[in-house]
Amino acid sequence: TTVLVLNGPNLGRLGSREPDVYGSGTLEDLRASLESTATEGTTIDLRQTNDEATLIGWLHEAVDAGQPVILNPAAFTHYSYALRDAAALVTKAGLLLVEVHLSNPHAREEFRHTSVISAVATGVIAGFGFDSYRLALDLIERRLG
């Protein structure tokens, strides 16, 4: 199985971006961590973009390829109905889509308390740094294994 690990805007800056909130690990560290967590037979395809259209295109790809998705929509979480509709295509196709966040958005500013994605995700893991992604990967492997 190939697991798509999709990251939205500003997550390419991990490591230097607000390390007090997001930790000091980079996106490459995250990739390495997931690759070492993945069991045999699981391939990690980790990507990041600042562009909404690109992210939507990747979700369409997941539908066409039948691939499970770990999605950190970053700020799009809070307002992108277009991304939500694309995420719905994934779960309506019967594929797992786990929404993840490094931080716990509910413990932060009011505008972060709303996710327009959660209602169409299979489930949500937030607040555990890179472990949010590792737990999501573990869940996907359990469900598919």
Give me the catalytic one of 22, 79, 81, 113: 22
What would the two tokens of residue 59 be?
Answer: 């979700």
Is 10 annotated to bind a ligand? Reply is: no
The Cα–Cα gap between 42 and 2 comes to 6
Residue 103 annotated as lining a ligand binding site = yes
Work out which of 68, 101, 120, 125 binds ligand DQA, going by CB under 6 A: 101
- Point out the catalytic residue in the list 60, 101, 106, 113: 101
Residue 101 catalytic? yes
Contacts 24+ apart (CB under 8 A), 15-23: 21/102, 21/103, 22/102, 22/103, 22/129, 23/102, 23/129, 23/130
Considering only residues 71 through 90, tell me which ones interact with ligand DQA, judged by CB under 6 A: 72, 74-75, 77
11, amino acid identity = L
Residue 135 CB, shortest distance to ligand DQA, in Å, is 13
Among 1, 10, 33, 118, binds ligand DQA (CB under 6 A): 10
Please say if 133 is a catalytic residue. Answer: no
Q: Which residues pair with 100 in a beta bridge?
A: 125
Binding-site annotation, residues for substrate: 72, 78, 85, 102-103, 112
Which residues are at the interface with ligand DQA (CB under 6 A)?
10, 72, 74-75, 77, 101-103, 105, 112
